[in-house]
Amino acid sequence: MAALAVVLLAIVGVFAGKLVVVQAVDGPTLAQQARDARLSTVTVIGSRGQITDATGVVLAGSVTRFDISVNQRLIPNFKGGDGVPAGAAGVAQTLAPLLGMDPAELGGKLVGTSAYKYLKKGVLPTDARQIAALRINGINVEQTAERVYPNGTLAGDIIGFTNSNGQGLQGLESALNARLTGTSGTLTYERGGNGQAIPGGYRSGEAATDGSSVQLTIRDDVQWKAQDSIERAVKESGASSAEIVVMRPDGEVLAIADSSTIDPNKPGAGSDGALLSAVSDVFEPGSTGKVVTMAAALETGAVTPTSQFQVPSTYAIGSQIFHDSHDHALENLTTTGVLAESSNVGTVQIGQKMSAQTQYDYMSKFGFGSPTGIEVPGESAGILHPVDQWDGRTRYNVLFGQGVSVTALQAASVYATIANGGVRVAPHLVKGWTAPDGTFTPSTTAASTQVVSPQTAATVTTMLESVVDDGTGGAAAVNGYRVAGKTGTAQDIATNGITASFIGFAPADNPQVVVAVVLKNPKTSIYGGVVAAPVFSEVTSYTLTVLGAAPSGAPATLFPTTW
């Protein structure tokens, strides 16, 4: 018994010693190792900022969704529980209704050797919560953010879209990606055997930061009207495509659209490359470009609005022969009459009173040959060849909008400059940014340049009113408002097609909105005054109503068009 007692005491002593080592010496290390084994770290996603219109209507936003994945190595050993039968077949039967999948198809995805395989992405929160509550060992529920565009195709070519990882690929989503994108954080927590968080357990991490939200100058109602109008115009005229720009004289773009836009929710295969042709595709402006010639001639004192010209239908300068759009007898036109009747010959006669360098300088000042700097990607600079590369015909062709190419946005900007008292303001789409803490910061003031004097701008405006009141642009009239604008028809030599356009602004006595309408290859008529001017009238009338613009006062006192 004594020996047995000694042995027992020895054994107890060993256990006690081991207990001291485990509890006192190795205890903190073992506890840390055990806790580390229970820790799980997940990424916490910072939400992508919203894109809204000028009034706060959401054009692009992010919603919470969940990705469901599986560790295929664990599913065959799943013993069942909480109403879920054991094994892959039981898991498939339970999850299939929640995932909207065929049980047999889902069962095939549950079996294999992969430690991580997606079953379905973008699962709604209600379904994801039910899946998580089943506590199926090997089934993972991960929170993500899905980009949604509530208005579908509305402004789709402006907004662009993101990829599955939330990175902007086109449009403003791409151009503004850095500021829209949030910064991800992490969360480390203790979890139980079934992966659930242990209440009161260890939790630490780094908070995610949401991206900033951007407010645009776009008005969703004006954008809708602009898109709807040009889409109908394409159908009615048989045009191959059309573009429209609606902006304020100070450069704020209210709407910009193509006749065929995309739905960013499902952009499809046709979304490669630049989306917004109104800023990427170029065309010869034709007679809408004559406003630059008139402004330059008036600003330099080469002519007055009532200078007199005898205008034949055909005019020769050396070996170069220029034609008006139709044959006519010799006409006695003033400078205003030349613009109102859209005479190429009369415009050449006016241009002869200026040097080629002067004409080039004013075309450059009005923005030809340079990108506007608008925020969407893929903008073209247009084509304005250096003056020393002009041949004998280009010297005069540019006077009436040939031999030079512009985008619809550049063309609209020219008329906005006239409407803005001769001050050119860079067109822009971003009104300001809202930080995650709710602080709104307006965008910096767009760059501006005084291109012509306020007096010249006012004179050109009155001359442009004659185009609508007594010229080729009668269909652009807007009831109750004075309208200044110009028709345009130009050949596209590259495609042997026609570009018909009308660009103008209203009210002419207090300009509030500039609208440019461009139709490519219309079939019912090649003239901008026939196919583009009515669209201008419709969109301008709607926009003035939306903006609450007061009707014009007294009628304009127009310059004489003949002598």
Task: Report which residue type is found at 275.
Answer: L
Q: What angle do CA 452, 453, 456 make, to 5 degrees?
A: 85
Longest C-alpha distance within the chain, in Å?
143
Q: Which of 71-85, 168-182, 444-458 has the lowest mean pLDDT?
A: 71-85
User: In this predicted model, what pLDDT tens digit does every residue of 253-272 receive, in sequence order?
Assistant: 999 999 988 899 988 755 55
Q: How far apart are CA 409 and CA 283, in angstroms?
A: 11
Q: Residue 9: what pLDDT?
A: 87
Are the C-beta atoms of 546 and 515 separated by less than 8 Å?
no
493 Cβ partners below 8 Å, 6+ apart? Answer: none
Question: Does residue 184 have an active-site annotation?
Answer: no
The residue whose two tokens read 């030349």 is 338
Q: Residue 344: what pLDDT?
A: 96
Structure tokens belonging to residue 234: 């394409």
Which ranges in the chain are annotated with CATH 3.90.1310.10?
Answer: 42-105+118-216
Give CA separation, 274 vs 27, 40, 258, 328, 348, in Å: 64, 43, 12, 44, 36
Q: Please state the separation of Cα 16 from the chain's center in Å.
A: 74
Average pLDDT across the chain, whole number: 90
Q: Is the pLDDT of residue 102 over 50?
A: yes
Q: Is the pLDDT of residue 356 over 70?
A: yes
User: Residue 563: pLDDT band by 50, 70, 90 thresholds?
Assistant: very high
pTM for the model? 0.85
Backbone angles phi, psi at 528, to 5 degrees: -60, -30
Identify the three-state secondary structure at position 335.
Answer: helix
Q: Is the pLDDT of residue 97 over 70?
A: yes
Q: Is the pLDDT of residue 183 over 90?
A: no
Bridge partners, 423 (sequence order)? 450
Q: Which residue has the higher pLDDT, 190 or 406?
A: 406
Around 44, how many Cα atoms within 13 Å sit in the side-chain half-sphere? 14
Strands (E), 411-460: 423-425, 430-434, 440-442, 448-450
Structure tokens belonging to residue 91: 């898991």
- Percent of the chain exceeding pLDDT 70 equals 95
User: Residue 188: pLDDT band by 50, 70, 90 thresholds?
Assistant: confident
Structure tokens belonging to residue 236: 């009615």
Give CA separation, 297 vs 112, 215, 350, in Å: 79, 40, 7
Mean pLDDT of 391-417: 96
Give CA separation, 214 vs 31, 250, 324, 433, in Å: 49, 20, 48, 5
CB count within 10 Å of CB 38 equals 14
User: Residue 481: pLDDT band by 50, 70, 90 thresholds?
Assistant: very high
Structure tokens belonging to residue 54: 């000028």
Bridge partners, 205 (sequence order)? 187
Give CA separation, 147 vs 60, 63, 264, in Å: 7, 7, 9
Q: 15: which DSSP letter?
A: H
- On whether the 42-105+118-216 domain is CATH 3.40.309.10, my answer is no
User: Residue 273: pLDDT band by 50, 70, 90 thresholds?
Assistant: very low
Q: How far apart are CA 12 and CA 301, in angstroms?
A: 115
User: In this predicted model, what pLDDT tens digit does every residue of 29-41 receive, in sequence order?
Assistant: 766 667 667 777 7
The residue whose two tokens read 């879209």 is 161
Which ranges in the chain are annotated with CATH 3.40.710.10?
Answer: 220-262+275-547
Q: Is the pLDDT of residue 488 over 90?
A: yes
User: In this predicted model, what pLDDT tens digit does every residue of 138-151 receive, in sequence order?
Assistant: 888 888 888 999 99
Q: Residue 271: what pLDDT?
A: 52
Bridge partners, 441 (sequence order)? 433
Q: How far apart are CA 418 and CA 506, in angstroms?
A: 12
Q: Residue 226: what pLDDT?
A: 97
Mean pLDDT of 509-517: 97
- On whether the 220-262+275-547 domain is CATH 3.40.50.11540, my answer is no
- Spot the catalytic one: 229, 277, 287, 405: 287
Spatial CA neighbour of 276 closest among 405, 175, 157, 149: 157
User: In this predicted model, what pLDDT tens digit does every residue of 44-76 receive, in sequence order?
Assistant: 677 899 999 999 999 999 888 889 999 988 888
Q: Is the pLDDT of residue 482 over 70?
A: yes
Are the C-beta atoms of 245 and 515 separated by less than 8 Å?
yes
Mean pLDDT of 86-108: 88
Strand pairing class (185-190; 331-334): unpaired
Structure tokens belonging to residue 163: 């990829």
